[in-house]
Amino acid sequence: MTETPTELTLTLDGEQVHAKDGETLLDVCRRAGKEVPTLCAEDRVDPMGSCRMCLVEVEGQRRLQPSCAFKVQAGQVVQTASDKVKRHRQLLLSMYLADHELDEDDLPRERGTGNQLRQHVLDHGTGPKLPAINAPREYRMENNPYIHFDPEACVLCNLCVRYCDEVEAVSAITLAGRGAKTTIATADQKGLLDTTCEMCGGCIAVCPTGAMTEKPSLASDFREEEVVRSTCNFCGVGCQVNLHTQDNKVVRVTSPPAGETVNDGNLCIKGRFSMEFIQHEDRLTQPLVRGDDGALHTTTWENALKVAAQGLMGVKEKYGADSLGFISSSRCTGEENYLLQKLSRAAFGTNNCHQCAAT
Amino acid sequence: MFGAGAMTNSIPEIRGTDLMFVIGSNTTEAHPIIAMEMKRAKKNGAKLIVADPRRIWLADIADLYLQLKPGTDVALLSAMMHVIVTEGLHDRAFVEAHTTGFDDLVASVQTATPEWAETITEVPADDIRQAARLYASTEKAGIYYTLGITEHSHGTDNVYGLANLVLMTGHLGKEHCGMNPLRGQNNVQGANDAGASPIYYAGYQRVDDPAAQAKFEAAWETPLSPTPGMNLNVMMKHMGGLIRGLFIMGEDIVLSEPNTERVEAGMNGLDFVVVQDIFLNETTRFADVVFPAACFAEKDGVFTNSDRRVQRVRKAVDAPGEARPDWQILVQLAQAVGYPMPDYQHPSEVYSEMAQLSPKFSGISHERLEDNVGGLQWPCPDPEHPGTATMHTEGPIIGKAPFQTIAYRPSEELPDSNFPLLLSTGRTLYHYNAGTQTRRASGAIAKQPQNFIEMSRRDARKRGLDDGQLVQVSSRRGTVIAAVNISPRMKRGCVWMPLHFPEANTNRLTNDVGDPVTQTAEFKVCAVRVQPLVQAAK
Ligand code: SF4
Ligand code: SF4
């Protein structure tokens, strides 16, 4: 596996470019900065060549070829924007539009964090308007708290199914139905909760049109959201997350793009969806001090700090510094853990300090 | 171990490995994204060996699955070592160059034949042989483990056993290999690194090392105690005795520590308790003062993950009401008792103070993390250093690594006629530890609304129990109610319960006897009995 693939040269839109044996035309186009539109391509899964969006013209081939699956060859002559390619794209986009939910401007409706089909229409234009298909599609994935699926926005690129098979490896969803009725569904038409689905939301992340979206964020318009990069606060993998906020609330969590972080674009149910606690009404909002009646009562910060300081110092004076213990949390930041040990050792004089989890 | 306990290798290396030995880690549930990497490695042709009492998901795709009896890991590992040394599969050059004590180790596993181990672990001797041979003879082979290894009264021996395997086969200091504890919580590694430890200051510098003490005394401008403190498990034992006051930041110890009844009695014996958290919980019932804290989305700082990767946490929203970030509260409390803790304006200033005092991370700063989107892995000794993906490439940091001999001891509490079932505990994909966060998540509630007990069909039938039926589970320490979950994953005689439900706290059952070295409690093994709810009520 360590042998270096041989270099070869081909002609791309009239220019000589280098490529390595085994690469696809799409790899080369992207490196060369060519705008080849795609819907069903995604680095984390094997190419499928089903959306027909990325077709290019290869000299000597009678038909246009999917660049995502077509391998480079020495001496190939490839056109990414010939008239034939452009005509194909526009006709294809017309066909997609005929089977897609449109907005007031006759453009594909935007959902979730955007719709690549809409962008392709804006970038490449369409051919003649075709009659709407309005195929009746059945789907029964609704029974779950997190994943919304809208068959009218689905382009059947099958990315969600491939992700679920190839990356998450649980195969909870599948292509179902025939002909114009084909859609994404669960095996046996069960609700997602009753399948092997682990609610990782990867199907949402790879969906190019927003047909799969986060149910809790349905009402949120992604253009109004601010995005803050952070680290998941659940397990020790340390997945990178983008916290999408609006009006001081976390409304959606996504992963930064595949390739640059430890999670490679993936998240699990906890990282992607278990964020309700942040805005939960049970959150503590005021300091509390136990009164003579034995109950906790709200108080000011000043008073709470004073009572805490006196209480802990009282114990120290009576029984010595080592009668105090400081328990820290692996949930808090590194800086906070540093300050907790500093508090314990420097302010109170004891090394009785430890974090809760030993592993 | 080889220096400080942390993954020796990196998560992204998993996909390039040729063999994974996963022991005591239900990776798909506890670390889903690492499990994805493992699935990917498997797809690329890597071999997978899984050792776990529960037939976990990964066992289904494993090349070799060792369903050992809970608490018998030491016997399994000893037998694997026996096979490796008797068949001469160890890496002589590595052993010679980087280790000490090999001869003693060989002598200590002399009688640990796979046949002997089979009588203890119930794993067929041939499977043990095959696992040992596969692991020893594959060049790129990594060990991955988690709480299933450490939460035992012999947890330290389990870890030594794994380390011995790594050392004798030379699976250290090379890419795609190593000894890889997967951290259960987001910042366990970072909390250790920062010195939330009774024996270490930040950066693993011992409190009883006069040079370290002098350095921190100078930096903090106050005399410090050279006496190592009590670890959490010891503190818990001495509550109401030697320990009279507690300050607890961000943990629900009453829910998450074993033997709840004893913990509650201990809490009642304290003179003063301060809790700093984001919700009221089981522990705040005992608090004299409760400080409302900000959650991770409301503050800045860093978390350090399982592969020593320091990454930024950034404030995205404001904390509710008057809640404040923990770091601010700590400074204010220190000042309130008269210690002149500086008025840090931002956690980046705290980090740079820590980095200055800790050679392991002195090259890391918030500024550098802005430019390194994938984080920085320590050791990272200077600002030009790129960080360390694979540790020990030049041999163990502390010179030569010693082999540690281990000997199988049965777990502290084994089933008997009164408590005939072996209970292990753990975490599930949907919930997270004390559950204060995930139990407020609708997905977790829909998937797993209440506490449950997994058992084999035969054990259920023997007791006339149906799937879903409510039962009373009792140990010598307490009783909880749970729903029966008949599962093909369970071995006969063994049951399993999750740890996330305060109203039916599994830790009312668990044993608080600790490992002799770490005092880590034996969450994984205790004896219980299970009765239908009606019958028990009589
Ligand atoms: S959430 Fe994850 S497991 Fe469930 S269907 Fe989508 S990709 Fe598959
Ligand atoms: S997203 Fe899931 S796997 Fe990743 S850090 Fe969070 S809890 Fe762990």
Structure tokens of B402? 């010693």
List the residue whose alpha carbon is closest to atom 8 of ligand 1: A164
Apex B81 CA angle, B78 and B85, nearest 5: 140
Q: Are A209 and A108 in contact (CB under 8 A)?
A: yes
User: Do the strands A324-328 and A353-355 form a parallel or antiparallel pair, or are they unpaired?
Assistant: parallel
Q: Is the CB of A232 under 6 A from ligand 2?
A: yes
CB A145 within 8 A of CB B446: yes
Distance CA B60, CA A349 (A): 52
Bridging pattern class, strands B64-66 and B47-51: parallel
Q: Which ligand lies nearest to the CA atom of residue A268 in the structure?
A: 2
Task: Round to whole Å and give the CA distance between B190 and A234.
Answer: 13
With CA atoms as reference, report the closest residue to A78 among A53, A52, A60, A51: A60
In this predicted model, what pLDDT tens digit does every residue of A180-217 receive, in sequence order? 788 888 877 778 888 888 889 999 999 999 989 998 88
Among A142, A144, A147, residue to substitute to test ligand 1 (most atoms within 8 Å of Cβ): A147
Q: Please classify residue B183 by burial: count the beta carbons closer than 10 Å to its beta carbon, then call 0-12 exposed, 13-18 middle and 19+ buried.
A: buried
By DSSP bridging, strand B376-377 and strand B289-292 are unpaired
Instruction: Tell me the CA distances in angstroms from A18 to A5, A15, A32, A112, B340, one per residue in order.
Output: 12, 10, 10, 38, 63
Q: How buried is residue A257: exposed, middle or buried, by Cβ count under 10 Å (0-12/13-18/19+)?
A: middle
The number of CA neighbours under 13 Å toward the Cβ of B502 is 17
Query: Model pTM?
Result: 0.87
Is the bond preceding B379 in cis, omega lying within 30 degrees of 0? yes
ipTM over 0.90: no
> What is the radius of gyration, based on Cα positions, of chain A?
28
In sequence order, what DSSP letters do the residues of A135-178 get, joined into one string?
--------SSSSEEE-GGG-----HHHHHHHHTS----EEEES-
Least confident of A240-244, A346-350, B313-317, B467-471: B467-471
Q: Does B373 touch chain A (CB under 8 A)?
A: yes
pLDDT of residue B536: 47
Q: What are the residue boundaries of the structural domains of chain A, listed by start?
A: 7-81, 320-359
3-state secondary structure of A130: coil
Q: What is the pLDDT of residue B434?
A: 47
CA A143, CA A347: separation in Å to the nearest integer? 54
What is the mean predicted confidence (pLDDT) over A318-342? 93
Strand ranges (E), B281-320: 289-292, 301-304, 309-313
| pLDDT band (50, 70, 90) for residue A301 | very high
CB contact residues (below 8 A), chain B span 472-511, against chain A? none
User: How many residue contacts between A and B have a Cβ separation below 8 Å?
Assistant: 475
The first and second tokens of residue B287, run together, are: 């608090």
- Domains of chain B as residue ranges with CATH: 11-182 (3.40.228.10), 183-225+327-382 (3.40.50.740), 421-537 (2.40.40.20)
> In whole angstroms, what is the distance from residue B445 CA to residue A321 CA?
43
Q: Would you call B465 exposed, middle or buried from its count of C-beta atoms within 10 A (0-12, 13-18, 19+)?
A: buried
Alpha-carbon distance A155 to A133, whole Å?
13
Amino acid A140: pLDDT: 65
DSSP B510: S
Q: What secondary structure, in 3-state letters, does B361-375 show?
A: HCCCCHHHHHHCCCC
Taking all residues of chain A, what is their mean pLDDT, rounded to a whole number? 88
Tell whether A322 lies on the interface with B, counting CB pairs under 8 A.
yes
Q: Strand pairing of B47-51 and B301-304?
A: unpaired
B323, HSE (Cβ side, Cα atoms, 13 Å): 26
User: How much is the pLDDT for A28?
Assistant: 92
Burial class (CB in 10 A: 0-12, 13-18, 19+), B194: buried
Separation of CA A31 from chain center: 24
The residue type found at A348 is F
- Coil, strand or helix at B226: coil
Chain B residues near residue A248 by CB distance under 8 angstroms: 317-318
Residue A172 beta carbon below 6 angstroms from any ligand 1 atom: yes
Alpha-carbon gap, residue B174 to B165, rounded angstroms? 15
pLDDT tens for the 538 residues of chain B, in order: 454 468 888 898 999 999 999 998 888 888 889 999 999 899 889 999 999 988 988 999 999 999 998 888 999 999 999 999 999 999 999 999 888 999 999 999 999 999 999 999 999 999 999 999 999 999 999 999 886 666 655 677 888 899 999 999 999 888 898 888 888 778 888 888 999 999 999 999 999 999 999 999 999 999 999 999 998 888 988 999 999 999 999 888 888 787 888 889 999 999 999 999 999 998 999 999 999 999 999 999 999 998 889 999 999 999 999 999 999 999 999 999 999 999 999 999 999 999 999 998 899 999 999 888 888 898 898 888 888 888 777 766 567 788 888 888 777 777 888 888 888 887 776 655 445 556 556 666 566 667 888 999 999 998 889 988 889 888 888 888 889 999 888 888 889 888 777 666 777 777 776 665 665 565 667 888 898 886 544 4
Residue B158 φ then ψ, to 5°:
-60, -45
Give the nearest ligand 1 atom to A204 CA: 6
Q: A338 and chain B: CB distance < 8 Å anywhere?
A: yes
Probe residue for ligand 1, chosen from A140, A144, A184, A200 as the CB with the greatest number of ligand atoms within 8 Å: A200
Is A7-81 in CATH node 3.40.640.10? no
How far apart CA B355 and CA A18 sit, in angstroms, is: 45
So what's the pLDDT on residue A216?
A: 86
